[in-house]
Structure 1
Amino acid sequence: MKKVGKPVFFIIVLLIAAMGYLTVAGVTTVYGDSTTRAIKGIDDVRWGIDIRGGVDVTFSPPEGVTATAEEMDAAESIIQVRLVSQNITDSEVYTDHDKNRIIVRFPWKADETEFNPEQAIAELGAMANLTFREGANIGPDGKPAGDTLNKLVLEGKDIESATAVYSTASSASTPEYGVELKLKESGKQKFAEATGRLIGQPISIWMDETLISAPTVRNQINDGIAQITGQFTSQEATDLANKINAGALPFALVTENYNTISPTLGAGAKDAMMMAGAIAFAVVAAIMLVCYRLPGLVAIIALAGQVILMIASITGFFSVFPSFTLTLPGIAGIILAIGFGVDANIITAERIKEELANGRSLDSAVDSGFKRAFSAILDGNVTVIIVAIILMGSFGPPDSLFARILSPLFFMFGTSAAGTIYSFGYTLLIGVLLNLLMGVLASRLMLKSISRQSWARNPALYGGKN
């Protein structure tokens, strides 16, 4: 490696310090009455349910009912609609088709004072009440009002199926996404009468008194097959079809198991984990400084940079890394990644000591020490990277990148552990990658730079003899 300039050490230290400040404080811009978070800080970390407190519940069809994949997707739509209707938007809903179960996690709301988790779980799993109503009159509470409340057209039991389609409707000149409705015999006559009478007017569709669509009647439907169109995207058409199918499900969901975590317990666990991490870092820093002197000091600075960049990758500081929900296992992944960073610096420092003991000059010992240590560091880190990717692919949310890539290999795993093991794998993966950046590259640049300072030329500062 070529010689590194003397200022490089100080430049890297200043960059780490600046990054640390931005990561902790963030950057907020104010324009008139509008406040925008330009760079997210540590206060923007999204804490997981095991820290904020919340509910973790698994639903399944009743005993003796074998639900199809379409019915499970429809049941998932019921839960999502009900969560939103309760103003719970920071939730996780996954469907495990292999085991016919739905995993739901939602945190306590910030202003929650009284909450009955058993009642909330019962409401989420109850049979959906789907209705088609005349008009689209909505009251102040968001529920149907006036004629819309009193004039019912169809109920969920009248719907045979709803399917997302891409076709040409009778009044459209080009194909478009929509939802095709097929009615049972019980609904055909009622729908024919209503659509004949309400041409040019809306028939609104409600799920548990939550409006999900309000299409306008274009012509009378006599055969029990109708299309709902309206400039849908493919996903919007699929979502609407799932919601309508959800209201036609002939069963309610059964609670397989659930657990709740109070905010007090979660916050206490977070504080204990953070304190453990801080103590571990301080002890490691002291040991590195005593045992390895100048390389130990460089290692401490590199570790601090690694931790800062890991926090930044969680808060959403970098646009390529969206804000990430941090759980207790995720914090454990950060601490474990720091351990790998320490290991990389110890291996390098020991190699430098060996080279000095063999009579090499300081510059030659530093060069050779890093070269000899790199293969061992790389082997260990690559192994951990593979494990972290497997964890994320096997236990991650079904729409995550790693889950999509590895799902053919790890289809036998469910998604019930996604919020915990996935968080652990994510922080571990990011931490190990940053270890290669900070613990190898930045450490090498800093140590080669500082070793050119006149006061740092004594081999004793690197574990050799005076």
Structure 2
Amino acid sequence: MLAAVLIGICTFLFFNEAKLGSMDIPAGIDLRQGIDLKGGIYALLYPDKENVTDEELQAAKAVIDRRLDNRNIFDRNIYVESDKKRIVVEYPSKGGADSYDINELGSIGSLTFREVVEKQVDKAGNYLPLDDMIILTGADIKSAKMEIYEGAYVVAFELYEEGAGKFAEATTRLAGVGRIGIFMDQELISAPSVDDPITEGSGIIRGSFTAKEASNLAGNIMAGALPFKMVARQVNQISPSLGENALKVTVWAGMLALLLICLFMTGYYRLPGVVASLAIMSLAVFQVDLISWAKIPLTLPGIAGIILSIGMGVDANVIIYERIKEELKNGKTISTAVDLGFKRAFSAIIDSNVTTIITGVVLYIMTTGPIKGFAVTLVLGVLLSFLTAITISRTLIRFTLGLGFGRNKWLYGGQGRA
């Protein structure tokens, strides 16, 4: 029953948007497409300083790479044009030239926590960033991520040991009497009052953020600061590199392959083949849902990863059902054969999945761009294929055994009833 409910919920979310509290859940089919399928943004970023060296440009490129990684944008092209002292960036985008994202991508991203003085404010009443009052910098932050706290989007952070010590000293000194200003590129984000000492080495950053703003801020903190600001002087929309019909043709080919697999499994394995077909289709739905929710751009290499993981799911079901048929030939009852089939196939399935996951992890660590996107969809798909083969397939088969017709050995490739 639980498996059926899960399949139903994920299938509904595949076609429909939903809202969970203050969090919007997009429909699974509302995928963010990569440059090769949808096109995106082409921008020329120039350093906001003179006499920039090639080493500094390469360092800036590395930070931009990490920022896009933190936003799950793996399908991009970034390269340095040393002779023109600029960085060329291409990445997928749903809409037209998104100058806000480009400007944010080129911002320095220097985060500081500073003690503020009540009378040191600008014309708008915002606290000024005083250079001699810095408590923490972005380098003191071990991790940062977007969370929902008291119904609002915040950035939760954890400090390294040295930073935790500095923060504990400052909050103990300012508890009940002062404020700490949080600045990004000298601009005030928030200035919370210090009510109690914070000695655990963690905290949150508030600032009336949207989900996107909080996520981007966390990503910029984790990516580190640029050595200088990069200014977008030219931003254009680029066309898809593989043409308008590339995705349509690929999707139809994938659907045809899935249909043929389901027909083969049903014809050869009978009732277990029907169950396998449901599990494989569930795998495809779950995977597309998760890719959509994680906002990972879908590229042709990514689609290849999805298809390959579906193949891994088919392989797992084949191993299980062959074991079940062997147990039936040895005279076991259907119930016993099913239990032994799943149990004895488990180690073989684990071995094949672990080796594939290791390959995917190595690809993710050692590569960039579309290959990293392929690695993400592959690893995600292999994990889901294991869960669907071991849990959903087993649950559905056990359910059919509780029905009268489900105990007919012919449905499992044998003869008679059990």
Instruction: Answer yes or no: same fold by TM over 0.5.
Output: yes
The number of residue pairs the alignment matches comes to 302
The answer for the alignment partner of 2:206 in structure 1 is: none
The answer for the alignment partner of 1:17 in structure 2 is: 8
The answer for the alignment partner of 2:56 in structure 1 is: 70
Please report how far the alpha carbon of residue 174 of structure 1 lies from its aligned counterpart in structure 2 after TM superposition.
3.0
The answer for the alignment partner of 1:284 in structure 2 is: 261
Q: In structure 2, what is the Cα distance between the partners aligned to 1:434 and 1:335? A: 13
Q: In structure 2, what is the Cα distance between the partners aligned to 1:383 and 1:78? A: 32
Q: In structure 1, what is the Cα distance between the partners aligned to 2:254 and 2:9? A: 22
The answer for the alignment partner of 2:380 in structure 1 is: 430
Identity %: 36
Aligned residue type for 1:380: S
Please report how far the alpha carbon of residue 265 of structure 1 lies from its aligned counterpart in structure 2 after TM superposition.
3.9
After superposing the two structures, state which structure 1 stretch, 301-310 or 291-300, moved more.
Answer: 301-310
Q: In structure 1, what is the Cα distance between the partners aligned to 2:399 and 2:75? A: 49
Q: In structure 1, what is the Cα distance between the partners aligned to 2:308 and 2:296? A: 18
TM-score by length of 2: 0.60
The answer for the alignment partner of 2:164 in structure 1 is: none
Aligned residue type for 1:274: V
Coordinate RMSD, CA, aligned: 4.6
The answer for the alignment partner of 2:279 in structure 1 is: 302
The answer for the alignment partner of 2:91 in structure 1 is: 106
For 1:391, what is the secondary structure of its paired residue?
helix
Please report how far the alpha carbon of residue 168 of structure 1 lies from its aligned counterpart in structure 2 after TM superposition.
9.6
The partner residue of 1:272 within 243, 249, 256 is 249
Q: In structure 1, what is the Cα distance between the partners aligned to 2:323 and 2:61? A: 60
Please report how far the alpha carbon of residue 354 of structure 1 lies from its aligned counterpart in structure 2 after TM superposition.
1.2
Are the structure 2 counterparts of residues 446 and 103 from structure 1 closer, same or farther at C-alpha, using a change threshold of 3 Å? farther
Please report how far the alpha carbon of residue 380 of structure 1 lies from its aligned counterpart in structure 2 after TM superposition.
0.6
Are the structure 2 counterparts of residues 297 and 242 from structure 1 closer, same or farther at C-alpha, using a change threshold of 3 Å? same
The partner residue of 2:399 within 431, 449, 454 is 449
- Structure 2: gaps spanning 5 or more residues: 66-72, 121-129, 138-184, 189-216, 232-236
Are the structure 2 counterparts of residues 175 and 423 from structure 1 closer, same or farther at C-alpha, using a change threshold of 3 Å? closer
1:49-60 equivalence runs, <5 A: 49-54=35-40
The answer for the alignment partner of 2:338 in structure 1 is: 366
Please report how far the alpha carbon of residue 345 of structure 1 lies from its aligned counterpart in structure 2 after TM superposition.
0.7
Please report how far the alpha carbon of residue 326 of structure 1 lies from its aligned counterpart in structure 2 after TM superposition.
1.3
1:344-355 equivalence runs, <5 A: 344-355=316-327
Q: In structure 1, what is the Cα distance between the partners aligned to 2:249 and 2:187? A: 51
Cα deviation 1:272-314 (Å, max 9, x = unaligned): 1111110011000000100001110110111121111101111
The answer for the alignment partner of 1:139 in structure 2 is: none
1:16-415 equivalence runs, <5 A: 16-27=7-18, 38-54=24-40, 67-74=53-60, 92=76, 104-107=89-92, 110=95, 172=130, 174-175=133-134, 239=225, 242-243=228-229, 262-263=239-240, 265-316=242-293, 322-395=294-367, 415=368
Cα deviation 1:6-52 (Å, max 9, x = unaligned): xx4xx52343123201222122599xxxxx87321024311111110
Contact 1:385 1:429 in 2 (8 A): yes
For 2:315, what is the secondary structure of its paired residue?
helix
For 2:290, what is the secondary structure of its paired residue?
helix
For 1:106, what is the secondary structure of its paired residue?
strand
Please report how far the alpha carbon of residue 353 of structure 1 lies from its aligned counterpart in structure 2 after TM superposition.
1.0
The answer for the alignment partner of 2:171 in structure 1 is: none
Cα deviation 1:96-115 (Å, max 9, x = unaligned): 9xxx9966223477358xxx
Are the structure 2 counterparts of residues 213 and 351 from structure 1 closer, same or farther at C-alpha, using a change threshold of 3 Å? closer
TM-score by length of 1: 0.54
Are the structure 2 counterparts of residues 76 and 438 from structure 1 closer, same or farther at C-alpha, using a change threshold of 3 Å? closer
Q: In structure 2, what is the Cα distance between the partners aligned to 1:296 and 1:43? A: 27
Please report how far the alpha carbon of residue 367 of structure 1 lies from its aligned counterpart in structure 2 after TM superposition.
1.3
Please report how far the alpha carbon of residue 60 of structure 1 lies from its aligned counterpart in structure 2 after TM superposition.
12
Contact 2:76 2:92 in 1 (8 A): no
For 1:325, what is the secondary structure of its paired residue?
coil
The answer for the alignment partner of 1:462 in structure 2 is: 412
Please report how far the alpha carbon of residue 56 of structure 1 lies from its aligned counterpart in structure 2 after TM superposition.
7.3
- Structure 1: gaps spanning 5 or more residues: 1-7, 31-35, 80-88, 113-123, 129-162, 179-211, 216-231, 248-259, 317-321, 396-414
Aligned residue type for 1:174: M
Cα deviation 1:141-177 (Å, max 9, x = unaligned): xxxxxxxxxxxxxxxxxxxxxx999999998563357
For 1:242, what is the secondary structure of its paired residue?
coil
Please report how far the alpha carbon of residue 59 of structure 1 lies from its aligned counterpart in structure 2 after TM superposition.
10
Q: In structure 2, what is the Cα distance between the partners aligned to 1:463 and 1:214? A: 70
Q: In structure 1, what is the Cα distance between the partners aligned to 2:395 and 2:187? A: 63
Q: In structure 2, what is the Cα distance between the partners aligned to 1:459 and 1:75? A: 63
Are the structure 2 counterparts of residues 291 and 56 from structure 1 closer, same or farther at C-alpha, using a change threshold of 3 Å? farther
Q: In structure 2, what is the Cα distance between the partners aligned to 1:273 and 1:424? A: 15
Contact 2:32 2:298 in 1 (8 A): yes
Contact 2:43 2:89 in 1 (8 A): yes
Please report how far the alpha carbon of residue 68 of structure 1 lies from its aligned counterpart in structure 2 after TM superposition.
4.9
Are the structure 2 counterparts of residues 444 and 282 from structure 1 closer, same or farther at C-alpha, using a change threshold of 3 Å? same
Please report how far the alpha carbon of residue 262 of structure 1 lies from its aligned counterpart in structure 2 after TM superposition.
3.0
Q: In structure 1, what is the Cα distance between the partners aligned to 2:241 and 2:61? A: 32
Q: In structure 1, what is the Cα distance between the partners aligned to 2:331 and 2:115? A: 83
Contact 2:56 2:227 in 1 (8 A): no
